[in-house]
Structure 1
Amino acid sequence: MAEPVRIEADVVVLGTGPAGMAAVSAALAEGAEVVALEAMEHIGGNAVWSTGYLAFVSSGMQAEQGIVDSEDTFVSDAKAMVDLADEDFGVEWDETQVRLFARESAETYRILTERGVRFSRFIPRPRQHTIDRMAAVEDSWMLGRAFQDDFERARTLFGTLADRLLTDGGRVVGVLAHSTDTHGGETRYEITARRGVVLATGGYQANPELRHRYQPSFVARAPYLGVDTCRGAGHLLGQAVGGDLVNMTFVPPLVIVSSSVVEDAIAVNSAGERFHDEAGPYEERVARMHEQPGRRAWYVVDDVVAQEKSGLIGQMPEPPVHADTLAGLAAAIGVPADALQATVDRWNAFLDTDATKDPDHGRVVLPPGRRHCATAPFTAVPMVEGVNFCSGGFRTTEDMQVIDVFGAAIPGLYAAGDTTAGLNAVADLGGIRICGGFTLGRVAGRAAARGADDRGEHASVLHKGMPSMLDARIELVHLDPSTTRA
Structure 2
Amino acid sequence: MANTQNTWDQECDVLVVGSGAGALTGAYGAAVRGLDTLVIEKTGYFGGTTAYAGAGLWLPGNHVQARDGVEDSADLARAYFRAVVGDATDQRVQDAYLDRAAETVAFLEDSPHVRFEYRPFPDYFAAPGRFDAGRAVFPVELPADAGPQHLLDAVRPPAWAERLGLPVPDGPLTDGRALIGRLLLALESTGHGRTLLDTALTGLITEDGAVVGVETEHDGRTLRIRARGGVLLAAGGFEANAELRRDWQELPGADWTMGAPGANTGDAITAAVSAGAALDLLDQAWWCPSLRFPDGSAAFTLGLHGGIFVDGSGHRFANESLPYDRMGRQMLGAKAGTAHDNPVWWIFDGRFGDELPGITVVPADRTAFTDAGLWRTADTLDGLAERIGVEAGALRDTVRTFNGYAADGTDADFQRGEDPYDRFFAQGTGPNPCLVPIDEGPYHAVQIVLGDLGTKGGVRTDAQARVLRADGGAIPGLYAAGNTAASVSGRCYPGPGVPIGSAMVFGHIAADHIAAARHTQH
Identity of matched residues, %: 23
TM-score (norm 1): 0.73
- In structure 2, which of residues 172, 197, 200 is the aligned counterpart of residue 161 of structure 1? 200
- In structure 2, which of residues 101, 104, 109 is the aligned counterpart of residue 105 of structure 1? 101
SS in 2 for 1:311: coil
Q: 1:208 to 1:310 in 2, by over 3 A?
A: closer
Q: 1:319 to 1:362 in 2, by over 3 A?
A: farther
The amino acid of 1:43's aligned partner reads F
Q: Deviations over 1:120-141 (max 9, x none)?
A: 3223424367234443747232
TM-score (norm 2): 0.69
Q: Deviations over 1:105-125 (max 9, x none)?
A: 223444666613444322342
- In structure 1, which of residues 256, 261, 270 is the aligned counterpart of residue 302 of structure 2? 261
Structure 2 residue 440 is matched with structure 1 residue 440: no
Q: Which residue of 2 aligns with 1:278?
A: 321
Q: Which residue of 2 aligns with 1:478?
A: none
Q: Deviations over 1:300-358 (max 9, x none)?
A: 566566798462558x9x975276999899576577799869968986997xxxxxxx9
- In structure 2, which of residues 211, 224, 239 is the aligned counterpart of residue 172 of structure 1? 211
Distance 2:383 2:26 in 1: 48
Q: Which residue of 1 aligns with 2:124?
A: 125
Distance 2:274 2:97 in 1: 28
- In structure 2, which of residues 178, 181, 198 is the aligned counterpart of residue 145 of structure 1? 181
The amino acid of 1:238's aligned partner reads A
Q: 1:54 to 1:450 in 2, by over 3 A?
A: same
Q: Deviations over 1:34-89 (max 9, x none)?
A: 11110122222111212333212123354356554443443343344445xx9xxx
Q: 1:329 to 1:122 in 2, by over 3 A?
A: farther
- In structure 1, which of residues 295, 298, 304 is the aligned counterpart of residue 346 of structure 2? 298
Q: Which residue of 1 aligns with 2:147?
A: none
The amino acid of 2:238's aligned partner reads Y
Distance 2:472 2:361 in 1: 48
Q: Which residue of 2 aligns with 1:459?
A: none
Q: Deviations over 1:374-429 (max 9, x none)?
A: 99999753121244332322233332122223332222211111122251426521
SS in 1 for 2:421: coil
1:104 is displaced (CA, Å) by 1.7
How do residues 20-169 of structure 1 correspond to structure 2 at under 5 angstroms? 20-63=23-66, 67-82=70-85, 93-110=89-106, 115-127=114-126, 130-132=130-132, 133-135=134-136, 137=138, 139-152=175-188, 153=191, 154-169=193-208
Q: Which residue of 2 aligns with 1:383?
A: 448
The amino acid of 1:203's aligned partner reads G
Q: 1:221 to 1:305 in 2, by over 3 A?
A: closer
Q: Which residue of 2 aligns with 1:364?
A: 420
Q: Deviations over 1:243-266 (max 9, x none)?
A: 222232334755336666335454
Q: Kindly report the root-mean-square deviation, in angstroms, between the aligned alpha carbons of the 2 structures.
A: 4.4
Is the 1:253–1:286 Cα contact (8 Å) retained in structure 2? no
Which consecutive unaligned segments of at least 5 residues does structure 2 have?
1-6, 139-173, 292-298, 429-435
Q: Which residue of 2 aligns with 1:408?
A: 473
Q: 1:207 to 1:308 in 2, by over 3 A?
A: closer
Residues matched between the structures, number: 434
Q: 1:238 to 1:384 in 2, by over 3 A?
A: same
Q: 1:333 to 1:54 in 2, by over 3 A?
A: farther
The amino acid of 1:285's aligned partner reads Q
SS in 2 for 1:256: strand
Distance 2:513 2:442 in 1: 54
SS in 2 for 1:429: coil
Is the 1:254–1:286 Cα contact (8 Å) retained in structure 2? no
The amino acid of 1:246's aligned partner reads D
Distance 2:380 2:108 in 1: 43
Distance 1:203 1:294 in 2: 26
Distance 2:248 2:281 in 1: 9
Which consecutive unaligned segments of at least 5 residues does structure 1 have?
181-185, 351-357, 456-486
Q: 1:299 to 1:124 in 2, by over 3 A?
A: farther
Q: Which residue of 2 aligns with 1:214?
A: 248
Q: Deviations over 1:252-304 (max 9, x none)?
A: 75533666633545433275979524224245532675589966321656656
SS in 2 for 1:396: coil
1:24 is displaced (CA, Å) by 0.9
Distance 2:101 2:468 in 1: 23
How do residues 467-482 of structure 1 correspond to structure 2 at under 5 angstroms? none
Q: Which residue of 2 aligns with 1:197?
A: 231
SS in 1 for 2:119: strand
SS in 1 for 2:230: strand
SS in 1 for 2:224: strand
Range that drifts further, 115-124 or 255-264:
255-264
Q: 1:206 to 1:134 in 2, by over 3 A?
A: farther
User: More helix per residue: 1 or 2?
Assistant: 1
Q: Deviations over 1:155-206 (max 9, x none)?
A: 21111101111222332221110134xxxxx132111112111111111122
Range that drifts further, 278-287 or 232-241:
278-287
Range that drifts further, 143-152 or 373-382:
373-382
